[in-house]
Amino acid sequence: MTRLFNDPAAFADEALEGFTAAHRRWVRPVTGGVVRATATPAGQVAVVIGGGSGHYPAFSGLVGRGLAHGAAVGNVFASPSARQIHSVATAAHAGGGVLLMYGNYAGDVLHFGQAAERLAADGVETRTFAVADDISSAGPEESAKRRGIAGDLPVFKAAAAAAEQGLPLEEVLRVAERAGARTRSFGIAFSGCTLPGADHPLFTVPEARMAVGLGIHGEPGIGEEALPTADEAARLLVETLLKELPEDVADPAGQRAAVILNGLGSVKYEELFVVYRRVAALLGDAGVEIVDPEVGELVTSFDMAGISLTLTWLDDRLEELWRAPADTPAYRKGALDAAGPDPDRASATAAAQDTAVPAAPVVPAASDASRGAADTVLAALDAVARVVDAHADELGRIDAVAGDGDHGIGMRRGSTAAHRAAADAHVLGAGAGTVLTRAADAWADKAGGTSGALWGTILRSLGTALGDRDAPDAARVADGVAEASAAVRRLGGAEVGDKTMVDVLVPFADALAAATAEDLPLADAWDRAATTATAAAAGTADLLPRRGRARPHAEKSLGTPDAGAHSLALITRAVHGALLDHH
Active site residues: 217
Which residue in 268, 329, 257, 267 sits closest to 294, CA to CA? 257
Q: Report the DSSP beta bridge partners of residue 260.
A: 294, 310
Q: With beta carbons less than 8 A apart as the criterion, state whether 505 and 488 touch.
A: yes
Rg of the chain over all Cα atoms, to the nearest angstrom:
24
d(CA 110, CA 108): 5
On whether the CB atoms of residues 16 and 53 are closer than 8 A, the answer is yes
Q: Are 481 and 507 in contact (CB under 8 A)?
A: no
For β-strands 183-191 and 209-212, DSSP reports them as: antiparallel
Say how far apart CA 342 and CA 58 lie, in whole Å.
24
Interatomic CA distance for residues 403 and 455, integer angstroms: 19
Q: What is d(CA 452, CA 447) in angstroms, rounded to the nearest whole number? A: 5
The H or E element spanning position 189 is strand 183-191
Among candidate residues 48, 104, 52, 106, the one with its CA nearest the CA of residue 75:
52
Question: For residue 7, how many other CB atoms are within 10 A of its CB?
Answer: 10
Containing 47, the helix (H) or strand (E) segment is strand 46-53
- Cα separation, 431 vs 426, whole angstroms: 7
What count of Cα atoms within 13 Å lies in the side-chain half-sphere of residue 249? 24
